[in-house]
A and B are shown apart, each in its own frame.
Chain A
Amino acid sequence: MLARSCLRTTRAFAGLRNGAVQIPKRAASSSSSGSTADSPLRLNIAAAASTALAAGSIAWYYHLYGPTANAATPAEEGLHPTHYPWVHEQWFKTFDHQALRRGFQVYREVCSSCHSLSRVPYRTLVGSILTVDEAKALAEENEYDSEPNDQGEIEKRPGKLSDYLPAPYKNDEAARFANNGALPPDLSLMVKARHGGCDYIFSLLTGYPEEPPAGAQVGAGLNFNPYFPGTGIAMARVLYDGLVDYEDGTPASTSQMAKDVTEFLNWAAEPEMDDRKRMGMKVLVVTSVLFAVSVWVKRYKWAWLKSRQVKYDPPKDSSAPRRY
């Protein structure tokens, strides 16, 4: 109903317009056949012009913004990190726990002065990075609030295995105040929380240039890092060759420390990864065997149907007239 009424109004409007346009033309040329003959031509011209306008605006938009419309400029997006062949990201490989131990040492000696790791308790370190005695000794270096005593006072007690790693600042405001307004994020889930994961963190830690490239805008108190979205990062480069002394004698180059601490942060974000992958391997083996068995059973059950031959045996040709 609506469509029909629309059609009618369009027709009426077209006729009215044609009539209005035709009036001066008829007076000028006094041709009698003009009013009906050139109205399709005009319509064609109008259609072609509007089509050209639409196509031209699309082409102009495409030329201006390109094949992809990005929400951010490349500088705001940040340089995409290189993909590195992390061994622990292979399907059936565990973390290298020697590297985790080195990475925890780097975190403790370097990162932990600004970054918290507040979702990791000491007990998870036992049996994957530290021995029980090492973890207990480490926990007892810090003091935690105890239960209220008889007077309701909360006293301090040395840490236990069930306590969480202490944060360097009391709260976010203290962290911002100490770092020129920038908040060092908690690193517990950082590998999961950033696009690129391990690649991003490694690239960020090792990607500080000697000096910002010409023309780069670097704000006051910021450092240039192409991998950081916006390229202006409050954290300066911290990893330099020989910054820590590894207990296992590994040369502490910048990339070695960045690689170890990245793998450690991946462990902090996914401490269940080793068990998960081992269970995944078992599941894949069992399900692939079951799948092969099911394929075999299907072929076995269908063999009689697939191997039969349907044959048409025509009657012997005879001279007798056919009856229909």
Chain B
Amino acid sequence: MASGAVYSALFRRNYTMLGLVFAGAFAFEMGYDNVMNKVWDNYNRGRQWKDIRHKYVEGGDDE
């Protein structure tokens, strides 16, 4: 029954299917980028500018 509702709501008509594909692509992109950026920052912890920025932002105003 639930599968029938999903089918009739999303898959049955082409424009809803197309909308689902586009929305799914956007949602996947956002979630995937989020996860991979977290993996990246964890692997490069302490090396990137955002990791050392706090040391210079306060003192940087005086220099």
Residues on A facing B (Cβ under 8 Å): 92-98, 101, 127-134, 137, 248, 274, 278, 281-282, 285-286
Closest chain-A Cβ to B54's Cβ sits at a distance in Å of: 10
Q: Digit string of B27-63 for contact with A (CB within 8 Å is 1, else 0)?
A: 0000011001101100110011101110111001101
Closest chain-A Cβ to B44's Cβ sits at a distance in Å of: 5
List residues of chain B with CB within 8 A of the CB of A133.
60-61, 63
Closest chain-A Cβ to B32's Cβ sits at a distance in Å of: 7
**6 contacts across the A-B interface (CB closer than 8 A):** A92-B40, A93-B44, A127-B49, A131-B56, A134-B56, A134-B60
List residues of chain A with CB within 8 A of the CB of B33.
282
List residues of chain B with CB within 8 A of the CB of A131.
53, 56-57, 60
Interface of A is mostly: helix
Return the chain A residue nearest B58 by Cβ: A131
In whole angstroms, how far apart are the Cα atoms of A191 and B20 in the complex? 47
In whole angstroms, how far apart are the Cα atoms of A138 and B60 in the complex? 11
Return the chain B residue nearest A138 by Cβ: B63
Return the chain A residue nearest B43 by Cβ: A92
Q: Could you say which of A93, A129, A134 has the most chain B C-beta atoms within 10 Å of its C-beta?
A: A134
Task: Please determine whether A282 and B32 come into contact, CB atoms closer than 8 angstroms.
Answer: yes
Task: Please determine whether A95 and B57 come into contact, CB atoms closer than 8 angstroms.
Answer: no
Q: Which of B40, B51, B60, B63 contacts A281 (CB 8 A)?
A: B40
Given A133-B60, A137-B63, are A278 and B49 neighbors across the interface (CB < 8 Å)?
no
Known contacts A94-B48, A131-B56; can you find 20 more A-B pairs with CB under 8 A?
A93-B44, A93-B47, A94-B47, A96-B47, A97-B47, A97-B51, A98-B47, A131-B60, A132-B60, A134-B56, A137-B63, A248-B55, A278-B36, A278-B37, A281-B36, A281-B39, A281-B40, A282-B32, A282-B36, A286-B32
Task: Please determine whether B57 and A98 come into contact, CB atoms closer than 8 angstroms.
Answer: no
In whole angstroms, how far apart are the Cα atoms of A127 and B36 in the complex? 21
List residues of chain B with CB within 8 A of the CB of A101.
52
Q: Digit string of B1-43 for contact with A (CB within 8 Å is 1, else 0)?
A: 0000000000000000000000000000000110011011001
Closest chain-A Cβ to B42's Cβ sits at a distance in Å of: 11
Return the chain B residue nearest A274 by Cβ: B48
